[in-house]
């Protein structure tokens, strides 16, 4: 069992690890997004059945859209038009997911113990560092204590799906390289 976490220096190839990580991160970002869509629809259906109607009010802008808006203002000197916000948010989501997985792929080559838990430790780390610490610290969301436990569970499970998918794809791509 422990043998899979041990590699000789001859077997390690950081470039191949990055390539495999990028592939894993791209697909995992898509899978995570689809998982969140299904979770949200199921939650709405359950809430609607128990409350008799859909919640009212304006939904907060996602942190990815806020990040894209900030990049647009600071890099290009102009606000994103409303018609581009969703796409820009998607680009941020995929860029962060892919970059994180590229780092993970390199780390997996340098220290295979990084992959412990088949990517679940990675997914947990991304959730903790991104959602719980960085996003609020950058002012892209309220602080963690301002959200109900259910929001944290949703985010954690989403990132577990992301981490596991990243590892499964990374491992397959790495083996093919």
Along the 177 residues of the chain, how does pLDDT read in single tens digits? 666 665 555 678 999 999 999 999 999 999 999 999 999 999 888 887 666 555 555 678 999 999 999 999 999 999 999 999 999 999 999 999 999 999 999 999 999 999 999 999 999 999 999 999 999 999 999 999 999 999 999 999 999 999 999 999 999 999 999
Distance CA 153, CA 81 (A): 32
Residue 67 counted as domain residue: no
pLDDT at residue 56 in the model? 56
Is the residue at 100 inside a domain? Answer: yes
Asked if the structure places residue 4 within a domain, the reply is: no
On whether residue 63 sits in a domain, the answer given is no
- State the total domains in the chain: 1
DSSP tag of 154: H
Say if CB 85 and CB 65 are below 8 A apart. Answer: yes
SS3 24: helix
Tokens of 58: 């304006």
Tell me which residue range forms the domain holding 100. Answer: 9-49+87-176
Q: How far apart are CA 177 and CA 171, in angstroms?
A: 10
pLDDT at 54: 53
Q: What pLDDT does 59 receive?
A: 75
* 70, part of any domain: no
Quote the CA–CA distance of 26 and 63 in Å, as a whole number: 19
CB contact at 8 A, 24 and 169: yes
Query: pTM score, two decimals?
Result: 0.88
In a domain, 77, yes or no: no
User: How far apart (Å, rounded) are the C-alpha atoms in residues 121 and 114?
Assistant: 8
pLDDT at 6: 59
* Residue 16 included in any domain: yes
């Amino acid at each position: 069992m422990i043998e899979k976490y041990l590699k000789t220096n001859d077997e390690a190839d950081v470039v191949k690890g990055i390539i495999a990580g990028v592939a894993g991160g791209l697909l995992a970002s898509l899978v995570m997004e689809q998982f969140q869509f299904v979770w949200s629809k199921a939650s709405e259906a359950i809430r609607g059945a128990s409350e008799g109607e859909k919640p009212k009010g304006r939904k907060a802008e996602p942190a990815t859209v806020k990040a894209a808006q900030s990049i647009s203002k600071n890099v290009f000197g102009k606000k994103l038009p409303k018609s581009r916000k969703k796409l820009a948010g998607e680009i941020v989501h995929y860029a962060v997911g892919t970059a994180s997985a590229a780092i993970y792929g390199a780390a997996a080559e340098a220290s295979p113990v990084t992959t412990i838990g088949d990517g679940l430790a990675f997914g947990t780390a991304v959730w903790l560092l991104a959602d719980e610490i960085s996003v609020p610290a950058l002012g892209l969301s309220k602080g963690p204590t301002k959200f109900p436990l259910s929001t944290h569970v949703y985010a954690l499970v989403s990132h577990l799906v992301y981490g596991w998918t990243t590892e499964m794809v990374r491992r397959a791509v790495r083996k093919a390289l």
